[in-house]
Amino acid sequence: MRLGVLDIGSNTGHLLVVDAHGGAAPLPAFSYKEPLRLAEHLDDAGAVSQTGIDALTAFTAQALVVAEDKGCEDMLGFATSAVRDAVNSEAVLDHVHERTGVRIEVLSGEDEARLTFLAVRRWFGWSAGRLAVFDIGGGSLEIAGGKDEAPDVAWSLPLGAARLARQFFGGARPDDEAIRQLRKEIRAEIARDAGNLLRAGSPDRAAATSKTFRSLARICGAAPSGDGPLVPRSLPLQQLREWIPKLIAIPPDELADLPGVSPSRTHQIVPGALVAEACMDIFDLTELEICPWALREGVILERLDQISVLG
């Protein structure tokens, strides 16, 4: 069957059209996305602004047209931390539903981590053994670990790259004190619940998903996306540590010249790099393998599993 998966993230709205069948890997057929930057459209009270609501509504309406044009039988819509954490999230999604007819579900942080873990497990398979998964989004960091398809532990932290850039840098170039404070907060947040994952011992395999991790891996020498998803990619801790001072020193308008960095995300590279470094350091990992499957694939796979059971 052909499915449309509407992913409303903190940075981007993304419709992925896939041909999906039980027992087969979801095959991407078409992609449509727009930079919504909802994490940056939150006002001082924590509500999505009217500008953000209008952008989300317009994108959803267009995504529905695209999904219908591409022959989708169904569309699965979900939103992550920017909408989840907004004080007016229910009103925002009701507005979108009234204007477009599309009902978008808000995923909890735990569900986001769980579904991402499912996708990574299916990608690497049972040979991965006990698996640890990290995902840096625009609004949150998800961590999960376990030896089965459902993780033993899964949780979410308010350490998304866009969120941190807004909170600590405010659009300005970070100074040494801002970097120190950011680094301190990141590590305290991650370390607070690190025992959830560490109690079971070191993972046999540690993987990372998301645009932030892919960009950092590319900066550190990983193969470009054009080489295809089957090429192994990783983010080594030592190389990341060597790059962080350089990333801080590079003027923001020049960061987009680096491989794998899009102009709309240059302000998120330094916070994302500090979160990635902290994850590897605190969990004693020398590198993270980059997995091309993430939350969207997890949503698709769970839906196919449900259809299979019902069938």
Average pLDDT, integer, range 102-125: 97
Per the document, the length of the chain is 311
- Please check whether residues 80 and 225 belong to one and the same domain: no
Task: Classify residue 149 as exposed, middle or buried by CB count within 10 Å of its CB (0-12, 13-18, 19+).
Answer: middle
pLDDT tens-digit map of 16-75: 999 988 788 889 999 999 999 888 888 888 899 999 999 999 999 999 999 999 999 999
Q: Are residues 102 and 119 in the same domain?
A: no
Report the distance separating Cα 187 and Cα 279, nearest Å.
8
Same domain, 30 and 162: no
- Residue 43: the pLDDT is 86
Quote the number of domains for the chain: 2
Q: Are residues 68 and 101 in the same domain?
A: yes
Distance of CA 209 to the CA centre of its chain: 7
Those residues whose C-beta lies under 8 Å from the C-beta of residue 281, and which sit 6 or more positions away, are 187, 237
pLDDT band with cut points at 50, 70 and 90 for residue 308: low
By CB atoms closer than 10 A (0-12, 13-18, 19+), residue 50 is exposed
Q: Residues 184, 68: one domain?
A: no
Joined together, the tokens standing for residue 291 give: 């997995």
Assess whether 71 and 177 both reside in one domain.
Answer: no
Tens-place pLDDT, residues 223-241? 999 999 999 999 999 999 9
Strand partners, 136: 141
Q: What is the pLDDT of residue 171?
A: 67
One domain, residues 68 and 210: no
- Max CA separation in the chain (angstroms): 58
Token pair in block for residue 117: 């873990």
Both tokens of 150, joined, read 């459902």
The pLDDT value given to residue 40 = 81
Cβ proximity of 151 and 144 under 8 Å: yes
Q: Whole-prediction pTM value?
A: 0.94
Domain at 63, CATH number: 3.30.420.40
pLDDT at 289 exceeding the cut of 90: yes
Those residues with Cβ within 8 angstroms of residue 99's Cβ, 6 or more apart along the chain or in another chain = 57, 60, 61
Domain extent for 275: 109-295
pLDDT at 310: 52
Judgement on whether residues 122 and 42 belong to the same structural domain of the protein: no
Q: Structure tokens of 183? A: 């680094």
pLDDT 10s digits, 157-205: 999 999 999 888 876 778 899 999 999 999 999 999 999 999 988 899 9
Looking at beta carbons, which pairs linking 99-105 to residues 24 or more positions away fall under 8 Å? 99/57, 99/60, 99/61, 100/57, 100/60, 100/61, 100/64, 101/64, 102/6, 102/60, 102/63, 102/64, 102/75, 102/77, 103/77, 104/6, 104/8, 104/60, 104/77, 104/78, 104/79, 105/77, 105/78, 105/79
Mean per-residue pLDDT, 104-117: 96
Spatial separation of the C-alpha atoms in residues 156 and 221, rounded to whole Å = 29
Same-domain check for residues 196 and 279? yes
State how far the Cα of 219 lies from the Cα of 80, in Å rounded to an integer.
26
Q: Where are the alpha helices (DSSP H) in 199-249?
A: 211-219, 237-249
Rounded to a whole number of angstroms, the distance between the first and last alpha carbons of the chain is: 14
